[in-house]
Protein backbone atom coordinates (compact mmCIF):
# COMPACT_ATOMS: atom_id res chain seq x y z
CA UNK A 1 0.00 0.00 0.00
CA UNK A 2 1.59 3.26 -1.16
CA UNK A 3 -1.07 5.64 0.25
CA UNK A 4 -4.14 5.34 2.50
CA UNK A 5 -6.76 7.62 1.02
CA UNK A 6 -9.84 5.42 0.66
CA UNK A 7 -11.60 2.41 2.16
CA UNK A 8 -10.68 0.72 -1.15
CA UNK A 9 -7.07 0.64 0.12
CA UNK A 10 -8.14 -2.01 2.66
CA UNK A 11 -7.42 -5.35 0.97
CA UNK A 12 -9.04 -7.62 3.58
CA UNK A 13 -11.12 -5.99 6.31
CA UNK A 14 -11.16 -8.93 8.73
CA UNK A 15 -7.37 -9.16 8.65
CA UNK A 16 -7.09 -5.41 9.23
CA UNK A 17 -9.51 -5.62 12.17
CA UNK A 18 -7.50 -8.46 13.74
CA UNK A 19 -4.27 -6.48 13.27
CA UNK A 20 -5.81 -3.34 14.76
CA UNK A 21 -7.07 -5.31 17.77
CA UNK A 22 -3.55 -6.69 18.27
CA UNK A 23 -2.20 -3.12 18.28
CA UNK A 24 -4.89 -2.11 20.77
CA UNK A 25 -3.72 -4.92 23.07
CA UNK A 26 -0.02 -3.99 22.77
CA UNK A 27 0.09 -0.35 21.57
CA UNK A 28 3.86 0.21 21.87
CA UNK A 29 5.03 -3.22 20.67
CA UNK A 30 6.25 -1.71 17.38
CA UNK A 31 7.79 1.41 18.92
CA UNK A 32 11.10 0.82 17.12
CA UNK A 33 9.44 0.81 13.68
CA UNK A 34 8.93 4.57 13.51
CA UNK A 35 12.23 5.65 15.09
CA UNK A 36 13.62 8.72 13.29
CA UNK A 37 10.55 8.82 11.04
CA UNK A 38 8.41 11.94 10.89
CA UNK A 39 4.68 12.22 10.32
CA UNK A 40 3.49 15.59 9.01
CA UNK A 41 -0.14 16.35 9.82
CA UNK A 42 -1.55 19.14 7.65
CA UNK A 43 -4.95 20.53 8.62
CA UNK A 44 -6.93 22.73 6.26
CA UNK A 45 -9.90 22.32 8.67
CA UNK A 46 -10.66 21.90 12.38
CA UNK A 47 -10.27 18.63 14.23
CA UNK A 48 -10.12 17.20 17.73
CA UNK A 49 -10.15 13.41 17.38
CA UNK A 50 -8.23 13.03 14.13
CA UNK A 51 -5.62 15.52 15.21
CA UNK A 52 -4.93 13.84 18.55
CA UNK A 53 -5.54 10.16 17.74
CA UNK A 54 -3.29 10.25 14.66
CA UNK A 55 -0.51 11.88 16.69
CA UNK A 56 -1.04 9.31 19.43
CA UNK A 57 -0.81 6.55 16.83
CA UNK A 58 2.45 8.00 15.53
CA UNK A 59 3.88 8.29 19.05
CA UNK A 60 2.94 4.65 19.81
CA UNK A 61 4.99 3.68 16.76
CA UNK A 62 7.96 5.79 17.85
CA UNK A 63 7.39 8.42 15.13
CA UNK A 64 7.82 12.16 15.56
CA UNK A 65 4.63 13.99 14.58
CA UNK A 66 4.69 17.58 13.25
CA UNK A 67 1.35 19.39 13.03
CA UNK A 68 0.48 22.40 10.93
CA UNK A 69 -2.79 24.31 10.51
CA UNK A 70 -2.43 25.07 6.84
CA UNK A 71 -5.35 27.47 6.63
CA UNK A 72 -4.18 30.58 8.38
CA UNK A 73 -0.65 29.57 9.39
CA UNK A 74 0.85 28.58 6.03
CA UNK A 75 1.01 30.49 2.76
CA UNK A 76 -2.15 30.21 0.72
CA UNK A 77 -1.70 27.19 -1.59
CA UNK A 78 -2.59 27.25 -5.29
CA UNK A 79 -3.90 24.00 -6.78
CA UNK A 80 -4.69 25.11 -10.32
CA UNK A 81 -2.35 24.20 -13.17
CA UNK A 82 -0.98 27.14 -15.13
CA UNK A 83 -2.65 29.71 -12.86
CA UNK A 84 -1.32 33.27 -12.96
CA UNK A 85 -0.78 33.57 -9.24
CA UNK A 86 -1.59 37.22 -8.83
CA UNK A 87 -4.38 36.58 -6.30
CA UNK A 88 -4.46 35.40 -2.69
CA UNK A 89 -2.42 32.19 -3.14
CA UNK A 90 1.33 32.58 -2.64
CA UNK A 91 2.68 29.07 -3.14
CA UNK A 92 1.88 26.26 -5.56
CA UNK A 93 1.10 22.73 -4.37
CA UNK A 94 3.95 21.52 -6.64
CA UNK A 95 6.51 23.21 -4.39
CA UNK A 96 4.56 22.89 -1.13
CA UNK A 97 4.07 19.10 -1.36
CA UNK A 98 7.63 18.53 -2.56
CA UNK A 99 9.07 20.64 0.27
CA UNK A 100 6.98 18.94 2.99
CA UNK A 101 8.07 15.56 1.57
CA UNK A 102 11.68 16.51 2.39
CA UNK A 103 10.76 17.01 6.05
CA UNK A 104 8.31 14.13 6.51
CA UNK A 105 8.33 10.40 5.81
CA UNK A 106 4.52 10.30 5.68
CA UNK A 107 2.12 13.21 5.10
CA UNK A 108 -1.43 13.19 6.47
CA UNK A 109 -3.92 15.72 5.12
CA UNK A 110 -7.36 16.98 6.17
CA UNK A 111 -9.18 19.03 3.52
CA UNK A 112 -12.97 19.28 3.57
CA UNK A 113 -15.19 19.79 0.49
CA UNK A 114 -16.39 23.12 -0.78
CA UNK A 115 -19.99 21.74 -0.86
CA UNK A 116 -20.56 24.27 -3.65
CA UNK A 117 -18.38 22.83 -6.44
CA UNK A 118 -19.39 19.17 -6.83
CA UNK A 119 -16.90 18.47 -9.61
CA UNK A 120 -13.97 19.90 -7.64
CA UNK A 121 -15.01 17.95 -4.54
CA UNK A 122 -15.51 14.67 -6.41
CA UNK A 123 -12.13 15.12 -8.08
CA UNK A 124 -10.56 15.40 -4.62
CA UNK A 125 -8.44 18.30 -5.85
CA UNK A 126 -6.45 18.84 -2.64
CA UNK A 127 -5.87 15.21 -1.66
CA UNK A 128 -4.99 14.13 -5.19
CA UNK A 129 -2.59 17.05 -5.60
CA UNK A 130 -0.72 15.88 -2.51
CA UNK A 131 -0.66 12.33 -3.90
CA UNK A 132 0.65 13.65 -7.21
CA UNK A 133 3.32 16.06 -5.98
CA UNK A 134 4.44 14.52 -2.66
CA UNK A 135 7.22 11.96 -2.89
CA UNK A 136 6.12 10.17 0.31
CA UNK A 137 2.95 8.27 1.30
CA UNK A 138 -0.21 10.31 1.88
CA UNK A 139 -2.89 9.54 4.48
CA UNK A 140 -6.41 10.91 4.18
CA UNK A 141 -7.51 12.46 7.50
CA UNK A 142 -10.89 13.37 5.91
CA UNK A 143 -11.11 14.71 2.42
CA UNK A 144 -13.92 16.07 0.28
CA UNK A 145 -15.59 12.68 -0.14
CA UNK A 146 -13.99 10.23 2.29
CA UNK A 147 -12.94 9.68 5.90
CA UNK A 148 -11.29 6.25 5.73
CA UNK A 149 -9.54 6.44 9.13
CA UNK A 150 -12.99 6.94 10.69
CA UNK A 151 -14.45 4.13 8.58
CA UNK A 152 -11.78 1.69 9.70
CA UNK A 153 -12.30 2.65 13.38
CA UNK A 154 -16.06 2.17 12.92
CA UNK A 155 -15.61 -1.31 11.45
CA UNK A 156 -13.30 -2.19 14.34
CA UNK A 157 -15.90 -0.94 16.86
CA UNK A 158 -18.74 -2.94 15.32
CA UNK A 159 -16.57 -6.02 15.28
CA UNK A 160 -15.77 -5.59 18.98
CA UNK A 161 -19.39 -5.02 20.07
CA UNK A 162 -21.13 -7.45 17.77
CA UNK A 163 -22.81 -10.40 19.47
CA UNK A 164 -24.12 -11.89 16.22
CA UNK A 165 -22.41 -13.48 13.25
CA UNK A 166 -24.27 -11.08 10.93
CA UNK A 167 -25.56 -8.00 12.82
CA UNK A 168 -28.02 -5.52 11.38
CA UNK A 169 -26.35 -2.14 10.90
CA UNK A 170 -28.32 0.99 10.01
CA UNK A 171 -26.80 4.26 8.78
CA UNK A 172 -29.33 6.95 9.66
CA UNK A 173 -29.38 10.57 8.54
CA UNK A 174 -30.21 13.02 11.36
CA UNK A 175 -30.96 16.75 11.38
CA UNK A 176 -28.27 19.40 11.75
CA UNK A 177 -28.05 23.18 11.70
CA UNK A 178 -25.24 23.32 9.13
CA UNK A 179 -24.67 21.78 5.72
CA UNK A 180 -22.25 18.92 6.35
CA UNK A 181 -20.06 16.79 4.03
CA UNK A 182 -20.78 13.24 2.88
CA UNK A 183 -17.32 11.90 3.74
CA UNK A 184 -18.13 10.00 6.95
CA UNK A 185 -21.32 8.48 5.54
CA UNK A 186 -19.50 7.52 2.32
CA UNK A 187 -16.62 5.76 4.04
CA UNK A 188 -18.94 4.04 6.53
CA UNK A 189 -21.08 2.79 3.64
CA UNK A 190 -18.00 1.52 1.80
CA UNK A 191 -16.56 -0.27 4.81
CA UNK A 192 -19.92 -1.89 5.67
CA UNK A 193 -20.02 -3.27 2.12
CA UNK A 194 -16.80 -5.12 2.98
CA UNK A 195 -18.20 -6.54 6.25
CA UNK A 196 -20.51 -9.48 6.80
CA UNK A 197 -23.46 -7.39 8.05
CA UNK A 198 -27.05 -6.68 7.06
CA UNK A 199 -26.64 -3.04 6.08
CA UNK A 200 -29.36 -0.50 5.31
CA UNK A 201 -29.33 3.28 4.95
CA UNK A 202 -32.19 5.52 6.00
CA UNK A 203 -32.55 9.18 5.07
CA UNK A 204 -35.33 11.57 4.06
CA UNK A 205 -36.14 11.87 0.36
CA UNK A 206 -33.68 14.24 -1.30
CA UNK A 207 -30.78 13.11 0.89
CA UNK A 208 -29.75 9.92 -0.95
CA UNK A 209 -25.97 9.57 -1.05
CA UNK A 210 -24.13 9.15 -4.33
CA UNK A 211 -25.34 5.96 -6.06
CA UNK A 212 -21.68 5.26 -6.88
CA UNK A 213 -21.14 4.86 -3.11
CA UNK A 214 -24.39 3.17 -2.07
CA UNK A 215 -24.48 0.75 -5.04
CA UNK A 216 -27.06 -1.91 -4.10
CA UNK A 217 -27.42 -1.05 -0.38
CA UNK A 218 -31.15 -0.68 0.45
CA UNK A 219 -32.13 2.95 1.09
CA UNK A 220 -35.31 3.24 3.17
CA UNK A 221 -37.00 6.61 3.59
CA UNK A 222 -38.94 5.50 6.70
CA UNK A 223 -36.53 5.78 9.64
CA UNK A 224 -38.65 3.72 12.08
CA UNK A 225 -39.02 0.91 9.59
CA UNK A 226 -35.29 0.92 8.82
CA UNK A 227 -34.24 0.85 12.49
CA UNK A 228 -36.47 -2.13 13.42
CA UNK A 229 -34.38 -4.92 15.01
CA UNK A 230 -31.15 -2.99 14.42
CA UNK A 231 -28.06 -4.02 16.37
CA UNK A 232 -26.17 -0.83 15.52
CA UNK A 233 -27.53 2.55 14.44
CA UNK A 234 -24.80 4.80 13.03
CA UNK A 235 -26.05 8.36 12.95
CA UNK A 236 -24.76 11.19 10.81
CA UNK A 237 -26.03 14.29 9.12
CA UNK A 238 -25.11 15.05 5.55
CA UNK A 239 -26.28 17.70 3.12
CA UNK A 240 -28.13 16.82 -0.06
CA UNK A 241 -26.03 15.13 -2.72
CA UNK A 242 -28.48 15.71 -5.59
CA UNK A 243 -29.03 19.38 -4.71
CA UNK A 244 -25.37 19.51 -3.90
CA UNK A 245 -24.45 20.85 -0.46
CA UNK A 246 -27.96 22.14 0.26
CA UNK A 247 -29.98 21.73 3.44
CA UNK A 248 -33.45 20.76 2.29
CA UNK A 249 -36.40 21.19 4.57
CA UNK A 250 -35.10 19.75 7.85
CA UNK A 251 -37.36 17.26 9.56
CA UNK A 252 -36.54 17.47 13.27
CA UNK A 253 -38.44 14.22 13.85
CA UNK A 254 -35.37 12.41 12.45
CA UNK A 255 -33.44 13.20 15.68
CA UNK A 256 -32.40 9.93 17.31
CA UNK A 257 -34.37 9.09 20.44
CA UNK A 258 -34.21 6.27 22.96
CA UNK A 259 -37.51 4.85 21.73
CA UNK A 260 -36.30 4.80 18.11
CA UNK A 261 -32.98 3.18 19.08
CA UNK A 262 -34.47 0.38 21.21
CA UNK A 263 -31.71 -2.07 22.17
CA UNK A 264 -29.39 -1.04 19.35
CA UNK A 265 -25.96 0.44 19.98
CA UNK A 266 -25.68 4.11 19.08
CA UNK A 267 -22.71 5.17 16.97
CA UNK A 268 -21.54 8.60 15.81
CA UNK A 269 -18.13 9.81 14.64
CA UNK A 270 -18.31 12.95 16.86
CA UNK A 271 -18.50 15.88 17.32
CA UNK A 272 -22.25 15.63 17.82
CA UNK A 273 -24.84 18.30 18.63
CA UNK A 274 -26.90 17.11 21.57
CA UNK A 275 -30.68 17.33 21.25
CA UNK A 276 -30.39 18.22 17.57
CA UNK A 277 -28.83 15.05 16.15
CA UNK A 278 -29.51 12.81 19.16
CA UNK A 279 -31.20 13.27 22.50
CA UNK A 280 -29.22 13.30 25.75
CA UNK A 281 -30.95 10.13 26.93
CA UNK A 282 -29.25 8.17 24.14
CA UNK A 283 -25.78 9.70 24.40
CA UNK A 284 -25.78 9.29 28.20
CA UNK A 285 -26.99 5.69 28.07
CA UNK A 286 -25.11 2.38 28.04
CA UNK A 287 -26.21 1.96 24.42
CA UNK A 288 -23.92 4.74 23.26
CA UNK A 289 -20.52 3.48 22.08
CA UNK A 290 -19.27 6.80 20.70
CA UNK A 291 -16.34 6.99 23.12
CA UNK A 292 -15.22 3.49 22.12
CA UNK A 293 -15.35 4.60 18.49
CA UNK A 294 -13.23 7.64 19.27
CA UNK A 295 -10.75 5.49 21.17
CA UNK A 296 -10.47 3.13 18.20
CA UNK A 297 -9.38 6.03 16.00
CA UNK A 298 -5.90 5.64 17.52
CA UNK A 299 -5.59 1.98 16.55
CA UNK A 300 -7.05 2.47 13.10
CA UNK A 301 -4.50 5.23 12.42
CA UNK A 302 -1.73 3.18 14.02
CA UNK A 303 -2.42 0.22 11.75
CA UNK A 304 -2.39 2.45 8.67
CA UNK A 305 0.87 4.14 9.69
CA UNK A 306 2.44 0.77 10.55
CA UNK A 307 1.59 -0.63 7.12
CA UNK A 308 2.99 2.48 5.39
CA UNK A 309 6.18 2.43 7.50
CA UNK A 310 6.73 -1.25 6.70
CA UNK A 311 6.51 -0.36 3.01
CA UNK A 312 8.93 2.60 3.03
N1 LIG B 1 -14.56 12.16 13.90
C2 LIG B 1 -13.65 13.08 13.59
O3 LIG B 1 -13.01 13.04 12.53
O4 LIG B 1 -13.46 14.02 14.56
P5 LIG B 1 -12.62 15.35 14.36
O6 LIG B 1 -13.31 16.15 13.28
O7 LIG B 1 -12.67 16.05 15.71
O8 LIG B 1 -11.24 15.01 13.96
- pLDDT of 23 > 90? The answer is yes
Residue 250 has pLDDT above 90, yes or no: no
pLDDT digits (tens, 9 = 90+) for 135-168: 999 999 999 999 999 999 999 999 999 999 999 9
Confidence (pTM): 0.98
Q: What is the pLDDT of residue 251?
A: 76
Q: What is the pLDDT of residue 125?
A: 98
Local structure of residue 8 (DSSP, 8 states): G
118: CATH:
3.40.50.1370
Supply the range of the domain harboring residue 22. Answer: 7-146+297-310
Q: Whose CA is nearest to atom 6 of ligand 1?
A: 47
Q: Verify that 82 and 182 share a domain, yes or no.
A: no
pLDDT digits (tens, 9 = 90+) for 179-230: 999 999 999 999 999 999 999 999 999 999 999 999 999 999 999 999 999 9
Total Cβ atoms within 10 A of residue 312: 11
Residues 201 and 270 in one domain: yes
Closest atom, ligand 1, to C-alpha of 149 = 3
Clarify whether residues 20 and 140 are in a common domain. Answer: yes
Mean pLDDT, rounded, for 115-130: 98
Q: Which atom of ligand 1 is nearest to the CA of 270?
A: 1
pLDDT, mean of residues 271-286: 98
Q: Which of 271, 273, 300 to mutate to test the pocket of ligand 1 (most atoms within 8 A of CB)?
A: 271
Question: Do residues 256 and 174 lie in contact, with contact meaning Cβ atoms separated by under 8 Å?
Answer: yes
* 263 assigned to some structural domain: yes
Q: Minimal CA–CA distance to 95: which of 74, 72, 117, 71?
A: 74
> Considering the domain boundaries, does residue 1 fall inside one?
no
Is residue 301 within 8 A of residue 151, CB to CB? The reply is no
Amino acid sequence: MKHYTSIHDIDHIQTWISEALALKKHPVKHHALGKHKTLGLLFFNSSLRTRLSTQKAALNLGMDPMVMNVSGDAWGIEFGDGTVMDGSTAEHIKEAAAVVSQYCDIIAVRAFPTLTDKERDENEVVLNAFKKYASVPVVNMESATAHPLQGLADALTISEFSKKARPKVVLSWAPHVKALPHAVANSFTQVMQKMDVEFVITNPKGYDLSPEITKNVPVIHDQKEACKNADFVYVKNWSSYDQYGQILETDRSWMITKSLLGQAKFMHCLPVRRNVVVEDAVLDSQNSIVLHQANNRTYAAQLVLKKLLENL
